[in-house]
């Protein structure tokens, strides 16, 4: 029986007395998502089914990000930013696809690793670096301004909308009172407590007002 279940995936506990083993089951097969997880090389005992729908792994603590967001310490959030960033890089560079935004309900946390499994938000990238949103969606504070300003479908937006969304996840953890239409400048003021850290400058790069000027760089 699944102990975590969303529209995109479910987690089944197959643990024994000697080993904690879990099974991730996607709502539908997706090779890119599964390969992006394997590419992280930080989950123990990972094996993927030939259908790319099931993934077996070991872990100590398993939850979805929405259950802990707002209470994640800075060190763990660093780990989350790094793992999500690496997943994005793989999807963009190796699979020519990208999420349009992050939804914490569809992000799985395994120990210090955070991955996105939202199949509904995964889109192909065209030759101009844009993705096409075809389906209606609920507006949240985790989306970039250009996503929140969409008024008709289908709509094309730059793939780097997802970098802004990643920054919103981190900032919400610091201040859960951010609003759906908070501006880039307002969000930058909220990250001042991080000033001087690697995460601070990484977030600045993600929050550029012009989508094409955003970068995902953590150094």
Average of pLDDT values for 2-10? 92
Q: What is the pLDDT of residue 1?
A: 61
Neighbour count for residue 167 (Cβ, 10 Å): 27
Q: Is residue 62 over pLDDT 80?
A: yes
Q: Is residue 196 over pLDDT 70?
A: yes
C-alpha to C-alpha distance for 140 and 154, rounded to whole angstroms:
19
Write the pLDDT tens digit of every residue in 47-59: 999 999 999 999 9
Burial class of residue 27, CB neighbours in 10 A (0-12, 13-18, 19+) = middle
Write the pLDDT tens digit of every residue in 67-103: 999 999 989 999 999 999 999 999 999 999 999 999 9
Q: In what order do the strands lie in the sheet with 54-58?
A: 2-5, 9-13, 21-26, 54-58, 44-48
Average of pLDDT values for 121-148? 95
């Amino acid at each position: 029986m699944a102990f975590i279940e969303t529209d995109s995936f479910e987690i089944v506990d197959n643990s024994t007395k000697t080993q904690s083993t879990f099974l991730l089951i996607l709502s539908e097969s997706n090779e890119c998502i599964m390969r992006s997880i394997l590419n992280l090389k930080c989950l123990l005992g990972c094996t993927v089914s030939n259908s790319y729908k099931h993934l077996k792994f070991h872990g100590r603590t398993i939850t979805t990000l929405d259950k802990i967001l707002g209470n994640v310490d800075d060190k763990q959030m660093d780990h989350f930013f790094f793992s999500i960033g690496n997943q994005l890089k793989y999807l963009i560079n190796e699979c020519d696809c990208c999420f349009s935004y992050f939804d914490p309900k569809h992000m799985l946390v395994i120990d210090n690793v955070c991955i996105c499994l939202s199949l509904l938000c995964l889109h192909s990238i065209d030759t101009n670096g844009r993705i096409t949103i075809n389906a209606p969606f609920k507006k949240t504070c985790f989306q970039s301004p250009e996503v929140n300003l969409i008024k008709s479908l289908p709509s094309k937006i730059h793939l780097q909308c997802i970098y802004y969304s990643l920054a919103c996840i981190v900032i919400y953890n610091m201040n859960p009172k951010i609003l759906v239409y908070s501006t880039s400048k307002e969000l930058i003021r909220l990250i001042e407590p991080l000033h001087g850290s690697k995460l601070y400058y990484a977030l600045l790069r993600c929050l550029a007002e012009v989508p094409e000027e955003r970068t995902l760089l953590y150094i």
